[in-house]
């Protein structure tokens, strides 16, 4: 993810996490939103460029226009994880497919790509 895509992710994450905190932890929505903002700032102080964190946009490989295949800028979802090289593990902080893109295989494909990349890094699956 580049910095241009980060504001949309930040907005989604704060809203989604605040709803989760309010629904499951008895916080008011205002308190939950404040906690969600603080959590994101704590974990990603430099946004998408925070060292050690991998914040990715899930995108279709391409859009087909007529007989031509063009690169796509469509975002189908997000995947945020952090590899612990010493423990040979990764922690997935967030994995989300946008509603319009669910059921199309993007989540499954994203996990397959992640597993292949992690295997190359020696992360246990």
13-67 pLDDT, tens per residue? 999 999 999 999 999 999 999 999 999 999 999 999 999 999 999 998 765 555 5
Please answer whether residues 82 and 90 qualify as being in contact, where contact means their C-beta atoms are separated by less than 8 angstroms: yes
Mean pLDDT, range 88-93, rounded to an integer: 95
CA 110: distance to chain centroid? 10
What are the residue ranges spanned by the domains of the chain? Answer: 1-45, 52-125
Domain 52-125 has CATH 3.40.630.30: yes
The whole-angstrom separation of Cα 55 and Cα 79 is 6
* Three-state DSSP class for residue 120: helix
């Amino acid at each position: 993810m580049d910095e241009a895509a980060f504001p949309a992710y930040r907005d989604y994450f704060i809203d989604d996490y605040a709803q989760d905190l309010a629904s499951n932890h008895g916080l008011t929505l205002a308190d939950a939103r404040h906690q969600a903002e603080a959590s994101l700032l704590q974990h990603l102080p430099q946004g998408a460029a925070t060292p050690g964190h991998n914040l990715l946009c899930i995108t279709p490989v391409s859009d087909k226009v007529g007989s031509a295949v063009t690169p796509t800028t469509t975002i189908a979802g997000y995947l945020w994880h952090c590899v612990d090289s010493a423990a040979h593990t990764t922690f997935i902080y967030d994995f989300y497919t946008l509603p319009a893109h669910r059921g199309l295989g993007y989540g499954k494909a994203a996990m397959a790509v992640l597993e292949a990349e992690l295997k190359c890094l020696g992360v246990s699956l």
